[in-house]
Structures are given as structure tokens and as C-alpha cells.
Amino acid sequence: TTKEAKCEAAGEESRSCSVCGATETREITALEHDYKHITAVSTCTKHGYEKDVCNKCGNEINYKELPLVPHTFGTWTVTKEATVFETGEKVRTCSVCNFTETEEIEKIKSEEVRDEKTNVSVICPDGSYEGTVEVQVTETFDGESYHILNTEKGNYKKSLFDITTLVDGKKVQPNGSVFVKIPLPEGYNEEKTAVYYVTNDGKLEKVPSRIEDGYIIFETNHFSFYAIVDEGSEVNPSANCPCACHKKGIAKFFFKIALFFQKIFKKNRICQCEIWHY
């Protein structure tokens, strides 16, 4: 064999006479291809393919690129909870290429009910009440709750609200958490204003809150008396205040007697300088 036969190419062989040296040559018939089908599977980042490859010469035919396959995602993970104010967010990651897909979570459906007199509103997520809800708000300047507030926060600007929700005219509490929006009074310090809840045992309990678009907003699952207090303010008696509480001598003596009877009958009074007295 002087030339190997190949696929699609003839070979050659020869022989010589051992007596005279004469040479005879003939063709070796070309070989036939021996094809094998090969498949490489696609991933989510790399195309696979199909092709036929000859085992003898490596010739390739019938090449076909395969499409990418979908990502192999794991379960969704919530990275930001949706609220009645903002959309949330959830993500999932492909286990093959670590590609992360992000999807928005819709805001929690809710209804905002407003008290027209005070412009205080309650934002009620679906399911908070069974029926049509109304809100009634009264700004309060006397009573036991105001006394509790005034005792602890008497030197600050403050407002006390009796907040009630009603369904079919009857007072009801929400089935879960709702949000309250109270207009921030003019002149209140946004960074220092806080919300307090007057508890049943006569204490002030601070409630987490935030200021947004001129409203102080907080979350609650129970309605009663809520106060907003500007703890950056300081209400000081005016030198020109005509109230007897700032007088001296006999006027102050009679004022103390009046305070004694006010305490017995649980009456509050306020000076023109905004200092409250029990």
C-alpha cells in the first residue's frame, strides 16, 4: 500500500516482480463514511447542537444548533414586603447560571376612610372590617386621658384625638392592623414629633411613626386616645399672661385653692400661654 484509501478518496497499492523488478500498480477503492449521531444538550446560557460525525475521518454533516433552554429557577424569596403604601419585591435564582429574576409584588389592597372635620384618615387593608366602615375623630382638650397626657407632656405642643371606627353605626375595632394619618399641625417639628397611645392603665405608650407629605402616619390594631407631641418644642409662660397662675401673693393663693377643687372634680383648664393645669 503506497497510499491509504480514505473516505471519498481512493488509495493505491503496488507490487514488484522479484525476478525482473517490473512494478504493477492498482487503485484501492475509497472507503465509505461511518457516521455517528452526536447531541450536546443546551443550557440556559449556552446553545447545544446535533451533528453526524464520521468515525473514520471526522467529517461532520447535518449540524443543527439547538435553542437555549429556560432557566432552572428555585422558589421565590420575598425581599421586600408589600404594604398599603408601597409595592413589595420578590426574587428567584437559576441553579445553573445564578441569574436572578426580580418581580414586583402589588400593594396590599386597602380603603382610606376620612373624618372630614379633622382630616384624620384610617387606611384599612382588605379584611380589616366586615362591612362599610366609618371613622369619627374628636380632638380632645379635657378628660382623664388629657390629664395623663398633660401630666407627662405638659411643656410640649400636643394634640389629643379620640379615634373611633364604626360599622353600621356601631363602634368596632379592626380585625388586624390599620394605618392612621393625622395632619401635622403647623409649626410642629417633623424630626421631634412623636405619637403616643393612652393605655387603659393610665400610661403613655410611644407608637412607631413617620412623617410623609405633611401627615404623621402610624400603625395600630386598636382605637382609643392617640396624641401627637412635638417634643422639640417648649411651651413657656408669657410674662404678659393674665392668668392667675403666674401671679404672686394673694392672687396665687386663691389660684391654688381653685386648683384643689379642680383636681377633686377632675376638671382641666388651660392658660392663654398654653400651660395646662389639672
User: Is the pLDDT confidence value at 255 over 70?
Assistant: no
The average pLDDT across 208-232 equals 93
| Cα 253 from chain centroid (whole Å) | 58
* pLDDT at residue 276 greater than cutoff 60: no
Q: What is the mean pLDDT of residues 241-260?
A: 63
Beta bridge partners, 133, equal 167
Measured distance CA(246)–CA(74) in Å, rounded: 72
254: CB partners within 8 A, 6+ apart: 244
Query: For 107-157, what is each residue's pLDDT tens digit?
Result: 999 999 999 999 999 999 999 999 899 999 999 888 888 888 888 887 788
Residue 210 is predicted with a pLDDT of 93
How far is CA 252 from each of CA 256, 257, 274, rounded to the nearest angstrom? 6, 9, 18
List, in order, residues 6 or more apart from 117 with CB less than 8 Å away.
Answer: 137
**CA distances from residue 174 to 133, 150, 166 in whole angstroms, order as listed:** 10, 28, 10
pLDDT of residue 100: 96
Whole-structure pTM value? 0.63
Residue 247, C-alpha cell as written in the block: 401671679
Sign of CA dihedral 13, 16, 21, 25: negative
Checking if the pLDDT of 44 tops 60, the result is yes
pLDDT at 268: 52
Q: Which of 74, 76, 127 is nearest to 104 (CA)?
A: 76
Task: Return the pLDDT at 278.
Answer: 40
- Report residue 252's pLDDT band, with 50, 70 and 90 as the boundaries: low
Looking at the chain, the whole-number percentage of residues with pLDDT higher than 70 is 85
Would the CA dihedral through 256, 260, 261, 266 be positive or negative? positive
Residue 215 has pLDDT above 60, yes or no: yes
Query: Which of residues 140 and 51 earns the better pLDDT score?
Result: 51
pLDDT of residue 93: 97
Rg of the chain (C-alpha set): 44
Q: How far apart are CA 117 and CA 132, in angstroms?
A: 19
